[in-house]
Amino acid sequence: MKLDRVTIIGFIKATIFGFTYLAVSDVLEKISVFDLLAYRFTAAALTFLLFQLFGVIKIRLKGKNVGNLIVIALFQPIGYYIFEAIGISKTSSLLSGIIVSFSPIIVIVLESIILKEKSSIKQKLFVLLSAAGVLLIAAMTGKQDTSSSFIGVLFIFLAVLSEGFFMTFTRKNTEEFTSIEITYVLMMVSAIAFNGINLVIHISQGTAAQYFVPLLDGTVLLEVLYLGVLASSVAYVLYAFMLSKIQASSTAIYAGVCTVVSILAGIIFRNESFLWYHAVGTIMILAGVWGVSAFQQEKISEGHKQQKGVLIEKTK
């Protein structure tokens, strides 16, 4: 398969996000969820402010509808991470994985309704193949337990729905904003929101004076910097760039690659086993990515031919 720029960026983004599962699981043994979210997005916001200060990036928001980006931030990162944290705490890993595996399908529905963009039958089939690969891995590795509740299922579904709206509305706004401008606003709004929530929690617990104490632990600081700088600042810029180039549903299937990377990270760094369903699921996910990418390029090429034909007709 010839790898185009968007496909390469998709794999880079998925690799960065894939390692976040390892970093998050490690750091949450030492700090709370909202500590992590506050520190993570503070690091992301400071990264953008430093880059802007030294002229590395240019942010031009004057005269643009920044309100749209604030709404997007409410879906993702803010809504997504809050819903996910509550949902995972009240449901089983099996059920969470199954619900999340249907994310690409939800995106297809949303983009057809909101953006009026249609995927070809071939693309839809490959999206389903990739989602089935994630579903297989989730079903085989999830623990069968009775810890799931309706509230847990509801919040996981709300997280997936938030992700779908994020992708759809981000793509809708890529004509007005650059990927860097979109990510800049998302990180600033998220830093304010999560620090506000976390500060209220610390004040209520009487621990406001120790707000930044966990960052004195070198391991926590390094993992927060990874999550804030790479997994938020860099990965979200790549995310927004992809959404400016290809359909949201085509971007969504790279979530499956995140699953593959997280499995490999577990094998390499935690000596976890690589079983038959990991192999089969990985093949299904990668085949789905290949199919969607291939037919996306076919669709683009066909569009260029049609545009060329229209131009020829106009010149006659």
Q: Residue 135: which of 248, 285, 258 has the closest Cα? A: 285
Q: Residue 42: which of 224, 208, 216 has the closest Cα? A: 224
Q: Cite the DSSP H helix spans in 206-253.
A: 218-225, 235-245, 248-252
Residue 306 CB: number of other CB atoms within 10 A?
10
This prediction's pTM: 0.84
C-alpha Rg value of the chain to the nearest Å: 20
Give the pLDDT confidence of 174-207 residue by residue, as tens digits.
999 999 999 999 999 999 999 999 999 999 999 9
User: Angle, to 10 degrees, between the axis of helix 150-172 and the axis of helix 93-100?
Assistant: 30
Is 18 a residue whose pLDDT tops 70?
Answer: yes
Give the pLDDT confidence of 202-223 residue by residue, as tens digits.
999 999 999 999 999 999 999 9
Is 50 a residue whose pLDDT tops 80?
Answer: yes
For 43, residues 6+ apart whose C-beta sits below 8 A from its C-beta are 224, 225, 227, 228, 229, 232
Who wins on pLDDT, 247 or 182? 182
Q: Provide the pLDDT for residue 121.
A: 84
Q: Provide the pLDDT for residue 307.
A: 43
Mean pLDDT of all residues in 117-131? 83
Q: Provide the pLDDT for residue 12.
A: 94
For 79, residues 6+ apart whose C-beta sits below 8 A from its C-beta are 158, 159, 162
Who wins on pLDDT, 230 or 309? 230
First-last CA distance in the chain: 38
